[in-house]
Every structure is written in C-alpha cells, then in structure tokens.
Amino acid sequence: MNRAQRGAAGSRGLGTMEVKSKFGAEFRRFSLERSKPGKFEEFYGLLQHVHKIPNVDVLVGYTDIHGDLLPINNDDNYHKAVSTANPLLRIFIQRKEDADYSAFGTDTMTRKKNVLSNVLRPDNHKKKPHIVISMPQDFRPVSSIIDVDILPETHRRVRLYKYGTDKPLGFYIRDGSSVRVTPHGLEKVPGIFISRLVPGGLAQSTGLLAVNDEVLEVNGIEVSGKSLDQVTDMMIANSRNLIITVRPANQRNNVVRNSRTSGSSGQSTESSLPSSTPNILGSLLQGEEESDEEDIIIEDSGEPQQIPKAAPTSESIESLSQIELLHESTQNGFLPSSELSLNHSAGSISMEYEVPEPGRKSLEEEGTIITL
C-alpha cells in the first residue's frame, strides 16, 4: 500500500497521469491532468473520441490497486479512479449490450483462472444467465458465511477477504478449553478461542465473529492438537484469504437450514454426513485460495507484473490435484470442458497482448498491474 502511494506521489509531481484504455483488442494511450480530471461526462466523451466509437453505448471500468475491476459511471468513482491510479490508469471499455456485469468486483481479475471456484460455485459461472438488478457500485465483499449446507448447524465457516480491503484483520486468539462429548462422557479438551476483536477491524465489522467463539478449522485444517503459536502462524499465512470455521459462543443466531436439495454447491447433494466432509473440503479450500496469492515480478527494472502460473506438467502436485478434482467434478455431474479450456488459457497467459480468446474476457491477458 505504502509503495503504491509513493508511486502515485512520484507521478503526481509531473502533474499528468497516463491512461491506458482498452476496447476490444485495441489500446489507446493518452494523458490526463491529474489535478483537474474534470467531469465523468467529459471523460466518457473523451474515451468515445479516442476509440472512435462516438455512438456506441459503453460501460467503463478500471482496475484498482488490488487488481479488481471497478466501474466508472459517475463523478465520484471517476475521481476515485483518478486519485488512486498510479502511475497508470487502466481503463476497460465494454459495449453495453454484451457487457458482463459479473466481471466487476473482487477477484475479478484472477477468478477465471481458477479451476476450483468454477467447480465449486457454478453460480459464478458466467454461462448462467445473469440477472441484472442494478449497476454494481464501488464496493466489494469483505466477508461471507460459506458452506452452510454442509456444516453442522452449530458451526459457522467465515471467509474474510483481506485482499479487498485496507482494514486490518483485527482479532486476537487465545488458548482455552471446551467441553466435548466423547464415548467416555463429557471431556474437557484444549481449544483455541477468539479473545478480542480490534474495533474497526475486518473481523469486527463483519459481525460474523465474536469473542469466545471457538476456532475449529483454519482454511480447512483442523486446529485441534495445535498450539496457539501454530494456529497463529496458520492464520497469518492464510491471512489474504482466511477461512475460519468457528463454533460461535452465541448459538442463537445460527443459520437455519431449510432443505438439503436447495444447496448451492454440488457437493452438498452428495454428502450426507457433514462430519465426513471437512477434510475433502479443506483441500478444496486450499486450492481455491491459490488465486489470491500471485507473487509479483519486476523484470529488468520494468513494470511489475503478477507472476503467471506455468503450464502444469503432468507430474506437478497442482496438476495432480486439479486432475483429481476434475475427476470428482465429473462424478458430480459437471462437464469437464470448462476446465480444459481454462488450462489452455492458463498456458497462454504468458504471452502479452494476445488477441483474446472469444467468449473469454480479455482482462486477464496482462495480469493485474500492481505498481511499486
């Protein structure tokens, strides 16, 4: 973050800001006065002008510093885009008629590379008809309750999207003991509990975690038998996309499950015993998280880029797990075709400025740009 601000400060000194705009497969580069960006209407006109599309209705979006594609449709978010861009403002233009609204939001730049999210969450799949309710605003999710359908009602699995916010995670954990039912009767066992929420932190603002909630799993790995320091290290290592399963201290606000059949995940229909699933799920969650953690490379002091994933070889672990998943997903009734095309596109990422594959959004070709 700090680096980003420094970068911005550096180019602000020049007074102008570079804009790189993309419509279809075409790029336009021009500059703007950073101090006087003007109104959105003027900017919209300018874009139509430079792309020579004066009478086409378009949606304008930009990538913010987190790599998310966010819309520009009024003066406010236009000014925000200008003020946060550094040193380059990347603009993406889509025709309104073939616009894909699901492209906007968190993880949009990387999501499609991810095989697992597509397997797990068919509702994200863009082939599904998308109901447009309204224009997406300048927001992104910071937390969610997930896997409600496969967890026991007393448990809650919370996902914190640290990646999409500047807020600190903001909670503390401690050692404690909880009572478990065992074949030998009730037994006191050591456990890990949330001990404090930092005011204004992500954990507190979600309202999904509370003091004295017992932590059962971290990103699918059970914490029982692990020391406080181990669990701390696990959480920090997963901090970019932390998924904690807790047993809330207050059991009154639990999600009431209606019926099994309406589960959103293909998994749920198959899994009859919730207690047997966490392990499988754990590995899936691990996989899902991959997308959030792209390292950055600067080559020859050039522009920083996300490090692409190498085309998987048949022997790598990743490919192994992918193939396993593929295997499972076909069992669950999904067609593997999307995965195959994904693998193909993953291999092509390394080539810059390639003509986008039809039906696939062009955004991912260059990777997200994070400037130092």
Closest CB to other proteins among 53 and 296?
A: 296
31 touches 11 (CB < 8 A): no
Q: How far is the CB of 276 from other proteins (least distance, A)?
A: 17
What 3-state DSSP class applies to 165? coil
Closest CB to other proteins among 206 and 219?
A: 219
Minimal CA–CA distance to 210: which of 177, 252, 150, 267? Answer: 252
Closest CB to other proteins among 141 and 168?
A: 168
197 touches 210 (CB < 8 A): yes
Question: Pairing relation of β-strands 214-218 and 185-197?
Answer: antiparallel
Q: How far is the CB of 58 from other proteins (least distance, A)?
A: 33
Closest CB to other proteins among 21 and 305?
A: 305
16: which DSSP letter? E
Q: How far is the CB of 342 from other proteins (least distance, A)?
A: 16
Q: How far is the CB of 90 from other proteins (least distance, A)?
A: 19
290 touches 299 (CB < 8 A): no
Q: How far apart are CA 63 and CA 105, in angstroms?
A: 10
What's the token pair of residue 137? 């605003």
Q: How far apart are CA 344 and CA 354, in angstroms?
A: 14
CA distances, 127 to each of 78, 95, 123, 124 (Å): 30, 18, 9, 9
What's the token pair of residue 103? 């492209």
Q: How far is the CB of 175 from other proteins (least distance, A)?
A: 6
Closest CB to other proteins among 308 and 356?
A: 308
Q: How far is the CB of 372 from other proteins (least distance, A)?
A: 8
Q: How far is the CB of 171 from other proteins (least distance, A)?
A: 5
Q: How far apart are CA 269 and CA 261, in angstroms?
A: 7
Q: How far is the CB of 323 from other proteins (least distance, A)?
A: 6
Closest CB to other proteins among 148 and 244?
A: 244
Closest CB to other proteins among 214 and 294?
A: 294
Q: How far is the CB of 221 from other proteins (least distance, A)?
A: 6
Beta bridge pairs of residue 20: 29, 90
Q: How far is the CB of 321 from other proteins (least distance, A)?
A: 10
Q: How far apart are CA 10 and CA 328, in angstroms?
A: 51
DSSP for 194-243, please give it: EEEE-TTSHHHHHSS--TTPEEEEETTEE-TT--HHHHHHHHHHTGGGEE
Closest CB to other proteins among 91 and 242?
A: 242
What's the token pair of residue 53? 């599309």
Q: How far apart are CA 348 and CA 356, in angstroms?
A: 10
Closest CB to other proteins among 145 and 310?
A: 310
166: which DSSP letter? S
Closest CB to other proteins among 153 and 293?
A: 293
* Contact residues for other proteins, defined by CB under 8 A: 1-3, 162, 168-176, 195-196, 219, 221, 226-240, 242, 286, 293-301, 304, 307-310, 313-320, 323-324, 327, 350, 372
55 touches 123 (CB < 8 A): no
Q: How far apart are CA 215 and CA 158, in angstroms?
A: 11
